[in-house]
Amino acid sequence: MSCLAKGHPDAFLVCNGYKDEEYVALALMARSLDLNTVIVLEQEEELDVVIGNSRRLGVRPVIGLRAKLRTKHSGHFGSTSGEKGKFGLNTAQILNVARKLQAVDMLDCLQLLHFHIGSQIPSTSLLADGVGEAAQIYCELARLGANMRVIDIGGGLGIDYDGSHSGESDMSIGYNLDEYAATVVQAVQYACDRRGVRHPILCSESGRALVSHHSVLIFEAKSSTSFEPSGPGSVGANLAYSLDELADDARADYRNLMAAAVRGEYETCCLYIDQLKRRCVDLFKDGLLGLEHLAAVDALCDIVAKEIGASRPVRTYHVNLSLFTSIPDYWAIEQLFPVMPIHRLDQRPGVDGVLSDLTCDSDGKMNKSSEERRACRSTK
C-alpha cells in the first residue's frame, strides 16, 4: 500500500489467499485511498466477509474470484491446480457468488477472474487449453451482468532449467516468452470475439519467471576427496594369498570374472563383480576373511570395473554452505538448480562430482545431474 500510494494509479493490488475480517478491512481501506485494490475470493464464504465489511466501512469493493479450472497439467507442479486444488471456486460456487452479488445490488463490483493451472507450465498447447476455459468463464460472467474488466492468468510461466527446450520434464519448457504471451492473447481474443465480449485487461503473477534469475549463490569448495580404483601395484601383495583365503564359491566367482573380462563380456563381468563382493563381505562378517584380503578383492573388482567402463571416477567436493539453509528446494521438492564452476570454464570436466555441504546431515549433498533428475521424474 505504501509503495502504490507514491504514484502508481494504474497498478493492481491483487489480494489473493485466505482472508479474515482484518485482511478484508485493510483491503477496503486501501480502496478508500484510491488504490486499485481487488479482493479475490478464494472461498465462497469470503463473500459474506467482504459484503459485511463493505457496508460497515462504506466502501464499495472491487471483487475478483479464483476459478478452479478443469484444465491442469500432470507434472509435479500441477498438483496444486484442478478441481481438487487448494483454492478457488467451482462452477456451482461461481454461480452462487454472482447470484448473491446480484441480490445485494453489487454484481457490478465483480470485475476480475483469476485462475492457476499449475506452476512450470510445460507447453503452449496446455496453456491455450487452460486460458481458453478461463476465457469462457469470463464471458459467461459478463453475460450474467458482471462488470468484467480483467483476467489474471496467475502463475505458470516456466523456466527452462535444464536447457533442453523440450517441455518433456518438470524442469523444462517448450516455448519462449513471446510464444507464451501470444498464446494467452490469442486464446482470450478468440473467446471474447466469438461471444461479443469486450477484450479484458490481462495481467499475470509469474513469480517464478520474475525471480528465478535474480541472484546467484557462490560458495567455496574447501577440500575434495576422490574415489578412483587403485592401480594394480597396490593390489599385488595381498591378492595372491587373498585368493587362498576365499571360499570355493568366491574363488569360482573370481575365475569366472577373469574369464569374462578376457572374453570381453562386460555385462557378465558386472554380475560377477557384484557377486564376488557380496560373498567376500559375508565371509568378512563371519570372521573368515581378513581386512587386507577384503581390501584386495575390492581393489581388484574396482580395477576391472574401470577397465571395462562400468565405473567412473567420482570426486566429492566439500563446499562451504548448508544445503538445507541455502538450497532447501533441491532436497525438499527435487528442484533443479543449474550448477557450474567459476574457474577453468574452458576445460571439460573429467570426473563425476558430488557437492557435499559442511553439515553432518546425510542428505546435505547434490549428487544428481540434470539428466538423472529428468529420468527420475519420468519414472514417477
Residue 90 lies in a domain: yes
Residue at 374: amino acid letter:
R
Domain membership flag for residue 29: yes
Residue 216 lies in a domain: no
- Domain limit, last residue, from 284, 307, 330: 307
CA distance 110 to 20: 19
Cross-strand pairs, 64:
40, 112
Rounded to the nearest angstrom, the gap between the alpha carbon of residue 26 and the centroid of all alpha carbons in its chain is: 33
**47 located within any domain:** yes
Q: What is the pTM of this model?
A: 0.73
Contact 62, 106 (CB under 8 A): no
Query: What is the structure's pLDDT at 227?
Result: 63
Is residue 379's pLDDT more than 50?
no
**Closest by Cα among 105, 108, 112 to 89:** 112
**Of 215, 172, 81, 104, nearest in space to 370 by CA:** 172
- Helix%, strand%, coil% for the chain, nearest 5: 45, 15, 40
On the question of pLDDT at 122 being above 80, the answer is yes
Query: What number of CA atoms fall less than 13 Å from residue 69's CA on the CB side?
Result: 28
Question: Kind and range of the H or E element at 352?
Answer: strand 352-357
**Which range of residues forms the domain containing residue 362?**
221-225+313-378
Asked whether residue 126 falls in the same domain as residue 241, the answer is: no
Answer whether residue 60 is part of any domain.
Answer: yes
362 and 332 share one domain: yes
**Residue 235 pLDDT grade (very low, low, confident, very high; cuts 50, 70, 90):** very low
Q: Specify if 148 maps to a domain.
A: yes
Which residue did the predictor score with more confidence, 325 or 338? 325
Same domain (yes/no): 183, 285: no
Final residue before a domain boundary, out of 211, 239, 255: 211
Q: Are residues 359 and 345 in the same domain?
A: yes
Q: What is the pLDDT of residues 177-204, one digit of tens each?
A: 999 999 999 999 999 999 999 999 999 9
Q: Flag whether pLDDT at 80 surpasses 70.
A: no
In total, how many domains does the chain have? 3
pLDDT averaged over the chain? 85
Instruction: Please give the pLDDT value at position 229.
Output: 54
Going by the DSSP 8-state scheme, the letter that residue 231 receives in this structure is P
Q: Residue 238: which H helix or E strand, with range?
A: helix 232-245
Together in a domain, 257 and 165:
no
Please indicate, yes or no, whether residues 269 and 148 belong to a single structural domain of this protein.
no
For the domain that residue 87 is a member of, what is the CATH number? 3.20.20.10
Are residues 272 and 183 located together in one domain of the fold? no
Residues 69 and 200 in one domain: yes
Among 25, 188, 169, 198, which Cα is nearest to 115's? 188
For residue 226, the cross-strand partners are: 315
* Whether residue 34 is found in the same domain as residue 65: yes
Position with higher pLDDT, 36 vs 367: 36
Neighbours of 260 (CB within 10 A): 20
The pLDDT of residue 252: 82
Same domain for 166 and 183? Answer: yes
- Asked if residue 50 and residue 145 are part of one domain, the reply reads yes
Q: 307, 333, 351 — which closes off a domain?
A: 307
Widest distance between CA atoms in the chain: 96
Could you say which DSSP state residue 89 is in?
A: B
Give the whole-angstrom CA distance, residue 141 versus residue 109.
12
Identify whether residues 299 and 319 lie together within a single domain.
no
Mean pLDDT over residues 328-348, rounded? 84
181 is a domain residue? yes
pLDDT at 101 (0 to 100): 97
Pairing of strands 110-115, 150-152: parallel
Q: How far apart are CA 142 and CA 255, in angstroms?
A: 81
